[in-house]
């Protein structure tokens, strides 16, 4: 059994002795008086002191959320209050979101964490209220006078604990904001609270560990350049074994036309590496003049889950490398929050990138005017354009062993409005594709439950709960259409959906879109292919079977 | 659907199916924090599985086992202790007793049927416990697998 699990006898004793909502012990109390209780399994490990030291972040110490005393720094209330005040001045959106909400409740049942747990504090409106109640205590004058009546409360250590719990049960997926009549983006409130918590050293190692690694070597795992190169070359060798084709990726090559940046999960993790093999095959197929940077070796940016300044710092390497290498534009791989940062913030944060050109596909001549500002094109758009212009030789039958559905990644769907391109690519590279129910896809897509740095293994129970609505929708197509493959365009999804599927829908595997592209590409000079990139047998391509023309 | 009812209690369950499922779902949702509504995916999944479970109580086919797995799979990752989770499988005993009280079946027969049903439910609880534990083991296993998947290339190089 896992060492994180409490013993049954402990749980029973605890339930009998402690007051509980289940026993009706809190019925006359205000919602915020309900206790917040950390127990192993419902909190992410805090950042290690050395990680905070490396980053120069506040209050490095050894602590656990289950501790009575969180060792907050002296004057922490003032730090938070000043921090909130300065952010209200800096971000007009935050003030607007705190003031504008009328508590209509349209968002309430849209959150996957609320649907998976039934906990009222996971309703986006109440989650935001956790901050709003403190904001009202200190800020607008009228409400300051009307204390109590306006639902305000003092900032106490209990509030900090509550923030830590519930702002880490939000994946910043923004599904709630789709339904808000005022367009309030609750994700932005979560972003702000996490930023405030970082000021007093209340944090998450699964976020800050990768941030520190990125800060040092450029990527989440802290892999150094030679290992990064060896890994990709090792995947190139796999490609040669499987297809007989030699792909030759280059690294840090000055004067290449395109710089390719993808999440490092595609270079190190299973099943991301198969997606990487798909990219390499695609680039070889079209003869793209591209290079990969060992410094901008990470598309993901956990700074987004930490602070605005850290996000900006970690993002800067993309333009730095593009400039140093003298490329014309940047092509970005399959990732979720990377695209939120690139699409919504990069240009104003680290731009303008006037040393780059507006991206033009060297193969089709298509001008990507949508990327005129950022100079960075999403690979699904790039590939969809290639297919549209009939530039790829594809055999979708090579994916006949897979029955697919498509999971819209929150940030790509809601963060940049991309719905059709990946579907267009998917329909062209495989013959069996079935959509999940309408209210669980496109802009209403359900999060994987592990986004925004909650993908920690000690957090598995909560991730399984939060991911339940997504898994339930997959189950629907699994039962009706025998779907066995969940295709996605996000590296966090590729890491977090496999356990989610193994738990809720055994038998469903997770694939990156370009892995399927790689399977379907008919390469010049290739040998007879009988297996896909995972070395699983393809249907109808056995020896003596129906080979491609 | 064609299945044979092997015992008296199975007939009684079948005749009162909707009432029992309704009450059983109420008890199950009461485990969750107060806002777990009837129109959530969790309630939807529970209602479907509880129905299948009740239908299969007398014959224990694969569908019955799958439904049991579906219910415990939900329960095994919640914020309440295992004892609370498993408690819902005892609930049909009380419901059955109420139904028998309202019926005009002879006292001697009532006793016999209730004892039989009670044993079946005890057995169900043990089956549910096995199933619940399988899911907890799965969670532990997923944690290990996730670590290896994340370090896939490093492990591959180490093995090479």
What would the DSSP string read from start to end of A156-193?
A: -HHHHHHHHHHTTS-----HHHHH-TT---HHHHHHHH
Q: Compute the average pLDDT of residues B115-128.
A: 93
Contact A15, B84 (CB under 8 A): yes
Do the Cβ atoms of B153 and A460 come within 8 Å?
no
Nearest-angstrom CA–CA distance, B149 and B138: 16
Q: Compute the average pLDDT of residues B49-77.
A: 92
Q: If contacts are CB pairs under 8 Å, which of residues 514-533 in chain A contact chain B?
A: none
The two structure tokens encoding residue A84: 């909130």
pLDDT above 60 for A469: yes
pLDDT band at A28 (very low <50, low <70, confident <90, very high): low
pLDDT band at A547 (very low <50, low <70, confident <90, very high): very low
Share of chain A above pLDDT 90, in %: 84
Contact residues, chain B, for A230 at CB < 8 Å: 157
Chain mean pLDDT for chain A: 92
Which residue ranges form the domains of chain B, and what is each CATH number?
8-135 (1.10.490)
What would the DSSP string read from start to end of A448-502?
A: -S-TTT---GGGHHHHHHHTHHHHHHHHHHHHHH---EEEES-HHHHHHHHHHHH
Q: Other CB atoms closer than 10 Å to residue A304's CB: what's the count?
A: 27
CA atoms within 13 A on the CB side of B70: 23
* Of residues B34, B94, B82, B91, the one with CA closest to residue A15: B82
Percent composition of chain B: helix, strand, coil (DSSP 3-state, to 5): 75, 0, 25
ipTM: 0.83
Q: How many CB pairs under 8 A join A and B?
A: 129
Q: Compute the average pLDDT of residues A201-216.
A: 96
Q: Other CB atoms closer than 10 Å to residue A458's CB: what's the count?
A: 18
Q: Residue B143, Cα to own-chain centre: how many angstroms?
A: 25
- Confidence (pTM): 0.90
Q: Which pLDDT score is estimated for A549?
A: 41
Q: Which pLDDT score is estimated for A505?
A: 96
Contact A350, A315 (CB under 8 A): yes
Q: Which of A1-15, A300-314, A316-330, B130-144 has the lowest mean pLDDT?
A: A1-15
Question: Out of 1.10.1060, 1.10.3470, 2.20.25, 3.30.460, which CATH number does the structure's domain A29-203 have?
Answer: 1.10.1060
Structural element, H or E, at residue A259: strand A258-261
CA atoms within 13 A on the CB side of A221: 22
Q: Which pLDDT score is estimated for A3?
A: 60
Contact residues, chain A, for B157 at CB < 8 Å: 230-231, 234
The two structure tokens encoding residue A255: 């004067």
Q: 3-class SS at A202?
A: coil
Q: Which pLDDT score is estimated for A19?
A: 62
Nearest-angstrom CA–CA distance, A346 and A351: 6
Nearest-angstrom CA–CA distance, B90 and B84: 11
Q: Which pLDDT score is estimated for A548?
A: 46
Contact residues, chain A, for B149 at CB < 8 Å: 269-271, 495, 498
Contact A401, A515 (CB under 8 A): no
pLDDT above 60 for A476: yes
Question: Domain extents for chain A?
Answer: 29-203, 209-388, 396-520
Query: Using one digit for the tens of pLDDT, what is the confidence trace for A507-526?
Result: 999 999 999 999 999 999 99
The DSSP output letter for A446 is P
The two structure tokens encoding residue A535: 């070395």
Give the gap in angstroms from C-alpha A499 to the nearest C-alpha of chain B: 6
Do the Cβ atoms of A22 and B31 come within 8 Å?
yes
Residues composing chain B: 160
Query: Using one digit for the tens of pLDDT, what is the confidence trace for B75-119?
Result: 999 988 899 899 999 999 999 998 888 887 777 778 888 899 999
Q: Which pLDDT score is estimated for A22?
A: 57
A404 DSSP β-pair partners: A433, A485
Contact residues, chain A, for B32 at CB < 8 Å: 117-118
pLDDT above 90 for A86: yes
* Of residues A112, A176, A216, A152, the one with CA closest to residue A462: A112
Burial class (CB in 10 A: 0-12, 13-18, 19+), A488: buried
Contact A492, A210 (CB under 8 A): no
pLDDT above 80 for A21: no
Q: Compute the average pLDDT of residues A397-420.
A: 96
Q: Residue B103, Cα to own-chain centre: how many angstroms?
A: 26
A38, A116, A437: best to mutate for the B interface, most B CBs within 10 A: A116
pLDDT above 80 for B160: no
Nearest-angstrom CA–CA distance, A394 and A386: 11
The two structure tokens encoding residue B18: 């909707």
Of the candidates A119, A269, A457, the beta carbon closest to that of B152 is on: A269
Chain mean pLDDT for chain B: 87
A329 DSSP β-pair partners: A258
The two structure tokens encoding residue A46: 């805090």
Residue of B nearest to A501 (CA): B142
Structural element, H or E, at residue A138: helix A124-138
User: Dihedral angle at the C-alpha atoms of A122, A182, A371, A216, nearest 10 degrees?
Assistant: -40
What stretches of A287-409 show up as alpha helix (H) in DSSP? 308-325, 337-340, 347-350, 379-388
Nearest-angstrom CA–CA distance, A109 and A123: 7
The answer as to CATH 2.40.33 being correct for domain A209-388 is no
A387 has a chain B CB within 8 A of its CB: no
Q: 3-class SS at B157?
A: helix
pLDDT above 80 for A4: no
Q: Which pLDDT score is estimated for B7?
A: 75
Q: Which pLDDT score is estimated for B106?
A: 77
Omega before A271 within 30 of 0, i.e. cis: yes
Q: Which pLDDT score is estimated for A119?
A: 86
Structural element, H or E, at residue A331: strand A329-332
Nearest-angstrom CA–CA distance, A7 and A477: 37
Of the candidates A5, A14, A42, the beta carbon closest to that of B79 is on: A42
A521 DSSP β-pair partners: A394
pLDDT band at A373 (very low <50, low <70, confident <90, very high): very high
Q: Which pLDDT score is estimated for A37?
A: 86
Nearest-angstrom CA–CA distance, A247 and B4: 63
Query: Using one digit for the tens of pLDDT, what is the confidence trace for A103-148?
Result: 899 999 999 999 988 888 999 999 999 999 899 887 666 555 665 5
The answer as to CATH 3.40.50 being correct for domain A396-520 is yes
């Amino acid at each position: 059994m896992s060492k994180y699990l409490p013993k049954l006898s402990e749980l029973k004793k605890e339930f009998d002795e402690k007051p509980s909502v289940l026993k009706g012990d809190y019925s006359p109390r205000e919602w915020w008086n309900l206790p917040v209780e950390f127990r192993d399994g419902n909190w992410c490990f805090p950042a290690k002191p050395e990680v905070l030291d490396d980053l120069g972040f506040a209050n490095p110490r050894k602590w656990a959320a289950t501790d009575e005393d969180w060792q907050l720094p002296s004057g922490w209330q003032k730090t938070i209050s000043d921090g909130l005040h300065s952010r209200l001045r800096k971000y007009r959106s935050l003030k607007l979101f705190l003031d504008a909400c009328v508590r209509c409740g349209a968002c309430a049942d849209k959150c996957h964490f609320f649907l998976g747990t039934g906990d009222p504090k996971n309703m986006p409106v109440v989650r935001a209220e956790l901050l709003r109640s403190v904001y009202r205590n200190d800020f607008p004058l009228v409400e300051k006078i009307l204390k109590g009546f306006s639902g305000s409360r003092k900032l106490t250590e209990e509030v900090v604990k509550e923030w830590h719990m519930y702002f880490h049960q939000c994946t910043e997926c923004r599904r709630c904001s789709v339904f808000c009549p005022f367009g309030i983006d609750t994700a932005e409130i979560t972003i702000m609270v996490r930023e405030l918590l970082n000021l007093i050293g209340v944090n998450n190692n699964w976020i800050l560990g990768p941030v520190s690694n990125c800060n040092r070597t450029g990527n989440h795992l802290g892999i150094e350049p030679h290992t990064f190169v060896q890994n990709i070359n090792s995947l190139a060798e796999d490609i040669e074994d499987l297809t007989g084709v030699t792909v030759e990726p280059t690294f840090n090559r000055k004067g290449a036309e395109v710089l390719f940046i993808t999440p490092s999960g595609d270079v190190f993790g299973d099943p991301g590496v198969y997606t990487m093999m798909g990219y390499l095959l695609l680039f070889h197929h079209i003869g793209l003049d591209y290079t990969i940077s060992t410094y901008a070796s990470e598309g993901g940016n956990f700074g987004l889950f930490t602070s605005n300044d850290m996000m900006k710092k970690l993002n800067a390497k993309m333009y730095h490398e593009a400039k140093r290498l003298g490329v014309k534009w940047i092509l970005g791989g399959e990732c979720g929050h990377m695209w939120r940062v690139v699409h919504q913030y990069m240009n104003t944060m680290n731009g303008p990138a006037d040393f780059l050109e507006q991206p033009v596909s060297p193969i089709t001549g298509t001008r990507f005017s949508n990327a005129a500002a950022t100079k960075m094109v999403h690979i699904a758009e790039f590939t969809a354009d290639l297919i549209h212009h009939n530039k790829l030789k594809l055999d979708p039958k090579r994916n006949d062993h897979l029955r697919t559905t498509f999971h819209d990644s929150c940030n790509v769907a809601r963060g940049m409005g991309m719905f059709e391109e990946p579907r267009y690519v998917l329909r062209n590279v495989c013959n069996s594709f079935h959509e999940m129910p309408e209210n669980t896809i496109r802009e209403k897509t359900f999060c994987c439950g592990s986004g925004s740095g909650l993908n920690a293994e000690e957090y598995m129970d909560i991730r399984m709960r939060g991911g339940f609505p997504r898994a339930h929708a997959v189950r629907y197509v699994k039962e009706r259409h025998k779907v066995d493959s969940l295709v996605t365009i996000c590296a966090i999804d590729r890491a977090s959906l496999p356990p989610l599927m193994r738990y809720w829908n055994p038998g469903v595997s997770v694939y990156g879109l370009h892995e399927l592209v790689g399977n379907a590409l008919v390469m010049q000079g290739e040998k007879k292919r009988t297996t896909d990139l995972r070395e699983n047998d393809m249907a109808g391509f056995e020896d003596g079977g129906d080979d491609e023309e | 659907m064609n299945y044979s009812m092997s015992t008296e209690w199975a007939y009684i369950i079948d005749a009162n199916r909707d009432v029992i499922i309704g009450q059983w779902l109420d008890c199950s949702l009461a485990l969750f924090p107060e806002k777990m509504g009837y129109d959530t995916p969790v309630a939807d999944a529970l209602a479907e599985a509880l129905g299948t479970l009740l239908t299969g109580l007398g014959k224990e086919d694969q569908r019955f086992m799958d439904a049991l797995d579906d219910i415990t799979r939900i329960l095994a990752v919640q914020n309440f202790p295992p004892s609370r989770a498993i408690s819902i499988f005892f609930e049909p005993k009380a419901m059955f007793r109420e139904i028998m009280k309202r019926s005009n079946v002879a006292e001697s027969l009532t006793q016999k049927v209730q004892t039989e049903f009670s044993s079946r439910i005890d057995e169900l609880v043990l089956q549910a416990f096995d199933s619940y534990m399988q899911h907890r083991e799965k969670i532990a296993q997923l944690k290990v697998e996730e670590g290896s998947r994340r370090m896939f290339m490093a492990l591959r190089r180490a093995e090479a």
